[in-house]
Structure 1
Amino acid sequence: MWMYLGLLAALFLGLHNLCKKHAVKGNEVFPVLFGTTLAGLLWVSPLFVTSKIAPEILAPYGLQISELPLKTHGLIAIKSLIMMSSWILAYQALKHLPITIVTPIRSAGPFFTFIGAILIYNEQPTALQWLGFFMIIGSVIGYSQIGKKEGINFTRNKWIFAIIGATFLGASSGLYDKFLIQQLQLNPPTLQFWFCTYTTLFLLIVLAFTWFPYHEKRAAFTFRWTIPAVGILLQTADYFYFKALQDPEALIMLLSAIKRSQILIAVVIGGLLFKEQNKRKKLLPLAGITLGVFLILYS
């Protein structure tokens, strides 16, 4: 069952990536991030209110938001800092690079998760899983060659390093999620609500120094419907992802790989919507990434 939940998470993540490209285009990254996290917080807030007023309504469905000790709040705040840093780097890269370059590099995230799952959680890969992961990495290298034809030098472009950093931090957060869900036994709505709360507060502090004092930046900001859509789609995807992680048999290395199937939406549909270059040439490494994911699922 957890694999099907992972595929549902991938579906909403793919739609989330498309909206994110539209939301950040021509906009400052920080207010867009703040808008998306605030929308996500508002999306899950009714569960918090209901948990305070009538928790017996939500408890049978596992949707109640539980009381937490101070130490656990601190651990969730750490996750917020990790993901906020990852998002800031990813949004900046997405603003300056084609989505058909950014998304495949992000697809290398399962490789970092894969290594962490072996070292930290002692998850045991099979030969097919190794083959699948190396196929994904090889396909990403293939994308770098195509990227050069779009004027993107993968060794000198700072936004390439930004998206690599975002990918590493995102993978670290994925490993941390398994600890929060399985070892601390947090239910998904509790983790989502407090994660959104702390991330919104941290971004508000960042905006207080980088955006609110500058009238020209505020005047240049354009609100788009995709900004709240990004937050809602992300929280919907996270719910299915966290539900999958609640299964004791769920392997974070496989879940991370399953989530990469979002690239089918982001690269194919996104490439058409945003009319980016070299779409046909990108189909070959895209097929390699897809085959790598398939091998992991098949194994």
Structure 2
Amino acid sequence: MWMYLGLLAALFLGLHNLCKKHAVQGNEVFPVLLGTISAGFLLILPFYLGSIWNPDYMQKIGFYITSIPWTTHGFIFIKSMIMAASWVLAYQALKHLPITIVTPIRSAGPFFTFIGAIFIYQEKPNPLQWVGFFLIIFSVLLYSKIGKKEGINFKRNKWIFAIIGATFLGASSGLYDKFLIQNLSLNPQTLQFWFCFYTILILLIILSITWFPYADKRKAFKFRWSIPAVGILLQTADYFYFKALQDPDALIMLLSAIKRSQILIAVVVGGLLFKEQNKRKKLVPLFGILLGVFLILYS
């Protein structure tokens, strides 16, 4: 069951990436990020209020947000700091790079998760899983050569380093999620609510330094329908992902790889919508990544 939940998470993540590209194009990154997280927070806020006013009903429908000790708040705050840094880097990179380059690089995230799962959680891959993961990494390297044809030098472009850093931080957060869900026994909606809350606080601090004091930057910001859509789609994807992690049999290394099937939406649909170059050539490494995911699922 957890694999199917992972595929649902991938579906909503793919749609989330398309909306995110639309939201950041020619726009200020930090307020866009604050807007998306705030939209996700408002989506979950009724569950929190319902858990206070009518806890029995919220427990009945499965969306009860539990009370947690301050130490657990501290652990969630750490996740918020990790993901805030990852999103800042990712949004900046997405603003300056084609979505058909950014998304495949982020698809290397399962490799970092894979290594962490082996050493931290002692998850044991079989030979087919090894092949699948290295096939994903090889396919990402193919994307780097295609990127050079679009004027993107992977060794000198700072936005490439930004998206690589974002990918590493995102993978670290994925490993941390398993600890929060399984070791601390957090349910998805409780984790999502407090995660959004603390991330908004972090972003407000960043914006108070980099954006709020500057009138020209505030005027340059353009609100688009895709900004709240990004937050709503992300929280929906995270809910299915966290539900999958609640299964004690769920392997974070495989779940992380399954989520990368979102690349199908980003490369095929995104390439058509944003009219990016070399779409046909990008289908070759795309096939490699999908084959890697298939080998993991098949194994």
Normalising by the smaller structure, the TM-score range is over 0.9
Aligned twin of 2:17: 17
Shift in Å at residue 61 of structure 1?
3.5
Shift in Å at residue 60 of structure 1?
2.7
Aligned partner letter, 1:274: F
Aligned partner letter, 2:38: L
Distance 1:284 1:61 in 2: 44
Aligned twin of 1:131: 131
Aligned twin of 2:229: 229
Q: Which runs of 4+ in 1 moved over 4 A?
A: none
Distance 1:28 1:221 in 2: 6
Distance 1:248 1:58 in 2: 24
Q: How does 1:65-214 map to 2 (within 5 A)?
A: 65-214=65-214
Q: Report SS of the residue matched to 2:120.
A: helix
Shift in Å at residue 58 of structure 1?
1.3
Aligned twin of 1:263: 263
Q: Report SS of the residue matched to 1:255.
A: helix
1:62–1:187 Cα contact (<8 Å) kept: no
Aligned partner letter, 2:3: M
Distance 2:219 2:198 in 1: 27
Distance 2:115 2:267 in 1: 26
Distance 2:234 2:59 in 1: 23
1:36–1:227 Cα contact (<8 Å) kept: yes
Shift in Å at residue 28 of structure 1?
1.0
Q: Report SS of the residue matched to 1:176.
A: helix
Aligned partner letter, 2:183: Q
Aligned partner letter, 1:152: I
Q: CA RMSD in A?
A: 0.5
Aligned partner letter, 1:130: W
Alignment deviations for residues 247-277 of structure 1 (CA, whole Å, 9 cap, x no partner): 0000000100000000000110000000000
Distance 2:234 2:110 in 1: 18
Distance 2:178 2:193 in 1: 17
Q: How many residues align?
A: 299
Aligned twin of 1:280: 280
Aligned partner letter, 1:63: F
Aligned partner letter, 1:202: I
TM-score if structure 2 supplies the norm length? 0.99
Gaps of 5+ in 1: none
Distance 2:9 2:65 in 1: 21
Distance 2:149 2:142 in 1: 12
Distance 1:126 1:161 in 2: 31
1:99–1:270 Cα contact (<8 Å) kept: yes
1:9–1:241 Cα contact (<8 Å) kept: yes
Aligned partner letter, 2:67: E
Alignment deviations for residues 132-176 of structure 1 (CA, whole Å, 9 cap, x no partner): 000000000000000000000000000000000000000000000
